[in-house]
Structure 1
Amino acid sequence: MLHYALVFLVIAIIAALFGFTGIAGTAASIAKILFIVFLILAIIAFFRRAS
């Protein structure tokens, strides 16, 4: 999940450099959502492992 978030972040940065603002914004939004999902799953896994 974190890998895909980083891939979309790189796509967003490259698209922004070339001026594709629509694609860059979409890719950045997807990257943010995937990162948040990753954090939630990591916290759940941590607490399930601790108990």
Structure 2
Amino acid sequence: MLYWAVVCLVIAIVAGVLGFGGIAGTAAGFAKILFFIFLVLLVVSLLANALRGRGPKI
């Protein structure tokens, strides 16, 4: 999912440089949504790992 957020960000930057305002805004909005979804999943994953209480396998 982080890959798609980065792809949308690159599309937004390229579209913004070329002057396509609508496309850039849409791609940037989509990238923001994917970024925040990824961030929430990261926090949930870290909390689940911390609450599980097991150490790393060595």
Q: Please give the per-residue CA displacement for 1:1-51, whole angstroms capped at 9, x wherever unaligned.
A: 111101000000000111100000000000000000000000000000111
Percent of matched pairs sharing the same residue: 55
Backbone CA RMSD of aligned residues: 0.5
Q: TM-score, normalised by structure 1?
A: 0.96
1:32 aligns with 2:32: yes
Runs of 4+ in 1 over 2 A off after TM superposition: none
Unaligned runs of 5+ in 1: none
Q: Which has the higher contact order (CA 8 A, sep 6+)?
A: 1
More helix by share: 1
